[in-house]
Amino acid sequence: MRTPDPTLDRRALLRRTGGGLALLVLGPVAAAVEGCGKKALSCVDTAGLSFADAQTRVTLQYVDRALDPAKPCRTCRHFRTAGEAACGGCEVVKGPINPGGGCQSWAART
């Protein structure tokens, strides 16, 4: 008679795969949500931009969340705010700009 292999216990297997599956499914959702269920501001819609303006975003490596936390758009001289909870604008990079975003053309205010 075979003795059950403790490493193949169904509960343990479900726990392991269920946990991994939950991370796989809920990870991106959790990343899009900040704090107490507040949805993160997204300023990535470039549908209304010309090809050249959209290309500038790519060339200057605009991202919706600054790679350098010390240099977010909200502190850049080129940023035009529409409030902290709304997409603003930029003199250099056209289209919606996240106050927490960033790009290669960040410049300190003088």
Among 49, 54, 64, 105, binds ligand SF4 (CB under 6 A): 105
For residue 34, the SS3 value is: strand
Question: Closer CB to ligand SF4, residue 17 or residue 104?
Answer: 104
List the one residue out of 55, 67, 59, 54 whose CA is nearest residue 100.
67
What's the alpha-carbon Rg for the chain, to the nearest Å?
22
List the one residue out of 101, 104, 108 whose CA is nearest residue 56.
104
Q: Is 101 in the site for ligand SF4 (CB under 6 A)?
A: yes
Q: Is 103 in the site for ligand SF4 (CB under 6 A)?
A: yes
Q: Which stretch, 25-33, 39-47, 48-56, 75-83, contacts ligand SF4 (CB under 6 A)?
A: 75-83
Intra-chain end-to-end CA distance of the chain, in Å:
81
Contacting residues toward ligand SF4, per CB under 6 A: 62, 73, 76, 78-79, 90, 92-93, 97, 101-103, 105-106
